[in-house]
Structure 1
């Protein structure tokens, strides 16, 4: 039974015929807004490329305008393969439809949606009938709703917490001489104040809820359900007319939130919003649960992750200590209240708390009242050359690396450490950086400011392209695989040598994204040039970068740079020559 149905598109070309019908069944899982049925007929296989591209373009338009819809695609494809396009749908027909071949196919954007059964042909047709039995189970039945307890943070709760800290005499804690005792007492007191001032609420999260299904929308849906039970038709019509504008209003609010994340450069929130709007789920790579989780297994896992703690690294540390030895003239390692205050203000309030249960939101909001006591504890740690035991603990969350777990090494340890300890680590790093900078390897790219894996790849590619430019093909065959392994990673590394066809495919994807979010995005070439200039400028200013002298040696007294002579087009379009070309365009 359908509430409404509508013909959306009927397109007939020499290569294919496509019919698109929009259907809204009376009973439909909440995760689907409606059903869009696509019927396809491809007369001849020799026009496969044109026909498949036409079908793929129609499907992409449907996905952009109706991202929450269930889209089944069926018809006679005449052995043409939809996999040759960017459409990644699931094929459900597994039985022969004519002789020993599967010509009539059924795709959908939902995995395991149907099970196919063969039936006799109808009349004089040379194709067998196929019965598609629904196999999909709604999310509300397959996934139990989560019941969690969260802190209900609000401006009033933060104000009450600040007032509680204002009345606190922090000098009481400094009377304790034991570092562990001070840290445990301060952490316990802060947690006590949080429990006292910030209420806890129980939240029930359903797996099929969308972020725009707010409390106002749920109230309208409940009223409509009650009207349906009472048989009040007029009230149902009125509520239906109210629900549609309210959902549209909440979707617009959510869209503005995603746009604001673009403006604030919060890419994590941007991708979360894009996945929700597009209906993307990484269901194909869901790892299996960790087997045999017992107390003994957990203890063995802890020993596995701490297996390096018993090794003595004195011999490895001695050369570093000798080269970085601090003289008597050097200042003592101390931190000031302003340093601690600035680090607390940089904390991300949405991050999780560590074993001490002190969330970064509290340190950020109540920094004027907490930076004094923590400055005292930090300086006490530096004076005694030790750290509290509470800050050395980590809550380890094992995350599977592979779909099938066979050993402990298949679990990646994600450690939640104390936020206060991370703040102290950043302060110590700032103090120690000047002493260790002179002994650091110039090819060290990790954990250094203005360095990333892009710099490592650019350095390796520059060496490889320079070598390949001065050798024949026979000598370069052994290292081509190295170039291919980094080909598809960072933009500044591969976009210069990307083929026009590849750039066109990426630009097509960008245009589809523009339709989805309603914003105008730059092309891949524009993004590449901007990223190229920015990376080139950073390397030019960083005298310790391994590629710095490859750039600065080309500088002329006039301010321009000499163009590198390249025998191959591959080297001419690589990072260093392309960066020099862009640099010279300023003159």
Structure 2
């Protein structure tokens, strides 16, 4: 049934669309139009070169003006970043070599190695007659289809997201029937479980199969189905998550995880003759090594109904896939700052290129915030307070250089740190479920927060004591 529906959708796409092949080259620039190529004559080579150089310069200026106009009118940041990457050759995507014809098979066996190691048979749970089967409404399905990002890559079914979004009204009823039939039978259609894996090199050159990062493309129709079921699962499960679980939760970030761990360690180190030992554990391929049979038993114990557990088991098993190819013990933050500053300085050259391309300061500032400032201030609330004065000056020099290139003032590193401290602390105060919420306690007056006592400067300058001071300094003056 599902394969018939998807085949008919693809037939309709083939009937109403025209496929056109466009050849692009790595060094192709968008301003190199046919007019530029005709700007030189054959009569005099010297004159032709001069005219062509003038034509390229004029075309670059027109292209920069076009970028500026589009950004000013529509705030289309996606087109802006595409143009910036074209001008600067910034972050070219590494491509897997397609010369080795045995690479797809080798990667396919490598990515499926965990399936062969799992010998636990997948057996569905016994369903009771009173078990309620999840039923999706047509309104929810249509709402999900209308929110599809049309720029997302299509999966193995080759049905573009734009088709599903634009034809949401026509496809809602049939897809609702497909989804509800799948849920009632606790069976996932094989065509929706299929996956195309695109290997992207993590580094260059590649030395082993583990140097490829697998990018899995699944049917967009399946992504909509997953999103609908996920919303139901989240609303059905009890709130039993550990407060120190930061992944996949709102108002939780890497900053929170590091700050909480450091706070516990530094609080303990406030005591005399104390020390801290930390154990860092990284699970290799954690998601791929989950045993589905054990997972559904745990979900069932958490209160998820049996039919949905069986559906999840069928969803996680029997998934066809194909691969497509075309030591430092120092306790200061100097190593971290040096690494961040090096990355920021390397990206200043791209800012120079944009400046030479005659782009205006607003666009240069946008590029700086996205590629230089974002690197220099990564997790800044964790480490900036305990930085040495020399490290802070090093970072500020990079910011000053960027401001000089742009020709406009930029916020200082200190201002960014204080703003982010205030924002992060405010979000924690407003979230009573946050594991660090109890660190922000109001005094009896109800106007200021209780300061965190610290014996050492290291603890005093860590995030949470700093955040309390920042919040107290930002409180409005009494009337």
| TM-score (ref. length: structure 1) | 0.56
Whether 1:452 aligns to 2:253 is: yes
Match of 1:34 in 2: none
Whether 1:307 aligns to 2:113 is: yes
Q: Secondary structure at the match of 2:38?
A: helix
Whether 1:197 aligns to 2:16 is: yes
**In 2 relative to 1, CA 421–218 (structure 1 residues): closer, same or farther, beyond 3 Å?**
same
Gaps of 5+ in 1: 1-181
Alignment counterpart, residue 195 of structure 2, candidates 383, 386, 394? 394
Match of 2:64 in 1: 251
Contact 2:164 2:171 in 1 (8 A): yes
Whether 1:523 aligns to 2:412 is: yes
Match of 2:164 in 1: 363
Match of 2:5 in 1: 186
Q: Secondary structure at the match of 1:439?
A: coil
Q: Secondary structure at the match of 1:205?
A: coil
**In 2 relative to 1, CA 502–437 (structure 1 residues): closer, same or farther, beyond 3 Å?**
farther
Contact 1:563 1:581 in 2 (8 A): yes
By how many angstroms is 1:352 displaced? 0.7
Contact 1:258 1:273 in 2 (8 A): no
User: Structure 1 CA distance, aligned partners of 2:58 and 2:100?
Assistant: 50
- Comparing 573-582 with 332-341, greater Cα deviation is found at 332-341
Alignment counterpart, residue 498 of structure 1, candidates 379, 387, 400? 387
Contact 1:288 1:403 in 2 (8 A): no
Alignment counterpart, residue 536 of structure 1, candidates 417, 422, 425? 425
**In 2 relative to 1, CA 386–492 (structure 1 residues): closer, same or farther, beyond 3 Å?**
farther
Whether 1:475 aligns to 2:278 is: no
By how many angstroms is 1:557 displaced? 5.5
Residues 29-84 of structure 1: CA distance to partner in whole angstroms, max 9, x if unpaired? Answer: xxxxxxxxxxxxxxxxxxxxxxxxxxxxxxxxxxxxxxxxxxxxxxxxxxxxxxxx
- Comparing 485-494 with 409-418, greater Cα deviation is found at 485-494
User: Structure 2 CA distance, aligned partners of 1:287 and 1:482?
Assistant: 39
By how many angstroms is 1:210 displaced? 2.5
User: Structure 2 CA distance, aligned partners of 1:275 and 1:516?
Assistant: 18
Contact 1:556 1:562 in 2 (8 A): no
Q: Secondary structure at the match of 1:224?
A: coil
Aligned-residue RMSD, C-alpha: 4.0
Tell me the number of residue pairs that the alignment of Structure 1 and Structure 2 aligns: 385
Alignment counterpart, residue 224 of structure 1, candidates 39, 46, 49? 39
More strand per residue: 1 or 2?
1
By how many angstroms is 1:398 displaced? 1.9
Whether 1:381 aligns to 2:200 is: no
Residues 321-357 of structure 1: CA distance to partner in whole angstroms, max 9, x if unpaired? Answer: 9xxx9996x9752222232233233322222111111
User: Structure 1 CA distance, aligned partners of 2:458 and 2:17?
Assistant: 61
Q: Secondary structure at the match of 2:450?
A: coil
By how many angstroms is 1:197 displaced? 2.4
Q: Secondary structure at the match of 1:200?
A: coil
Match of 1:569 in 2: 457
Q: Secondary structure at the match of 1:562?
A: coil
Alignment counterpart, residue 437 of structure 2, candidates 527, 548, 564? 548
Contact 1:287 1:403 in 2 (8 A): no
Contact 2:195 2:217 in 1 (8 A): yes
Larger Rg computed on CA atoms:
1
Alignment counterpart, residue 578 of structure 1, candidates 461, 466, 471? 466
User: Structure 2 CA distance, aligned partners of 1:441 and 1:290?
Assistant: 45
By how many angstroms is 1:561 displaced? 1.2
Gaps of 5+ in 2: 280-328, 341-377
Q: Secondary structure at the match of 2:455?
A: coil
By how many angstroms is 1:413 displaced? 1.4
User: Structure 2 CA distance, aligned partners of 1:259 and 1:433?
Assistant: 40
By how many angstroms is 1:461 displaced? 1.9
Match of 1:87 in 2: none
More helix per residue: 1 or 2?
2
**In 2 relative to 1, CA 277–307 (structure 1 residues): closer, same or farther, beyond 3 Å?**
same
Residues 268-327 of structure 1: CA distance to partner in whole angstroms, max 9, x if unpaired? Answer: 7665544444454679xx798488542xx5334323322333526689x99xx9xxx999
| TM-score (ref. length: structure 2) | 0.68
Q: Secondary structure at the match of 1:438?
A: coil
Following superposition of structure 1 onto structure 2, how do residues 75-94 of structure 1 map, counting pairs within 5 Å? none
**In 2 relative to 1, CA 493–219 (structure 1 residues): closer, same or farther, beyond 3 Å?**
same
Contact 1:497 1:570 in 2 (8 A): yes
Following superposition of structure 1 onto structure 2, how do residues 139-178 of structure 1 map, counting pairs within 5 Å? none
Alignment counterpart, residue 224 of structure 2, candidates 406, 423, 440? 423
- Comparing 560-569 with 193-202, greater Cα deviation is found at 193-202
User: Structure 2 CA distance, aligned partners of 1:193 and 1:502?
Assistant: 61
Match of 1:21 in 2: none
Following superposition of structure 1 onto structure 2, how do residues 252-401 of structure 1 map, counting pairs within 5 Å? 252-257=65-70, 272-280=82-90, 289=97, 292-294=100-102, 298-309=104-115, 311=118, 332-401=133-202
Match of 2:288 in 1: none
**In 2 relative to 1, CA 379–307 (structure 1 residues): closer, same or farther, beyond 3 Å?**
same
User: Structure 2 CA distance, aligned partners of 1:486 and 1:547?
Assistant: 25
User: Structure 2 CA distance, aligned partners of 1:243 and 1:400?
Assistant: 34
